[in-house]
Amino acid sequence: MSAVMQTPVRLGAEDRFALDDLYQAYAAALDERRYDDWPSFFTDDALYRVVPRENHELNLPIALMHCEGRLMMRDRVVALTETVMARPRALRRFVTPARIVGGGDGSESAPMQVRANVLLVETLHERMTRVVLSGVYHDTVVRGHDGGWLLTGRLCIYDSLLLPDSLVEPV
């Protein structure tokens, strides 16, 4: 991946704010359980993966969540809401400001490479809030039609292989 990295593009203020909007709106949609909105942060054939650091470093392909394209993402959230039995809980994501690390200018053929840390905490009935995972997003981002930004790829690499009980929402 580092081979394609170039000097990060310098964005104007408006583009920079729009990029932050993508990151914060993504987290808010999931925190607020607007699952139907989740695929809309991606391009049609975007790749979404949630992977333990161990697999990432060993170059092993298995992911906790693996969606190729928005349809597969939609299937995951429908399955989550319609078929999975889980204890009710509040999940909340804390995402650091986006950091542009390389790639192109964000045009369709030259996505920007962006990173941000994420912390996911959960609260179950009769339990105190606990950390589910801490991780880093390795994203590729392009300009959408309306002046905003879209994810063409999101790889969430989380630190602790060992997770508490279950992870019932996308990160």
Sites of contact with other proteins (CB under 8 A): 50, 52, 54-55, 58, 60-69, 71-72, 74-76, 78-80, 82-87, 161-168
Closer residue to other proteins (CB): 69 or 104: 69
- From the CB of 52, what's the least distance to other proteins, in Å? 7
Q: What are phi and psi of 134, to 5 degrees?
A: -120, 145
Burial tier of 128 (Cβ tally within 10 Å: 0-12, 13-18, 19+): exposed
Task: Give the residues across from 49 on adjacent strands.
Answer: 66, 155
- From the CB of 147, what's the least distance to other proteins, in Å? 28
Closer residue to other proteins (CB): 9 or 168: 168
Closer residue to other proteins (CB): 13 or 162: 162
Token pair recorded at residue 168: 């019932």
Q: How far is CA 132 from CA 91, 92, 108, 137, 143, in A?
A: 9, 10, 34, 15, 31
- From the CB of 120, what's the least distance to other proteins, in Å? 12
Report the C-alpha gap between 99 and 66 in whole angstroms: 24
- From the CB of 148, what's the least distance to other proteins, in Å? 24
Closer residue to other proteins (CB): 27 or 98: 27
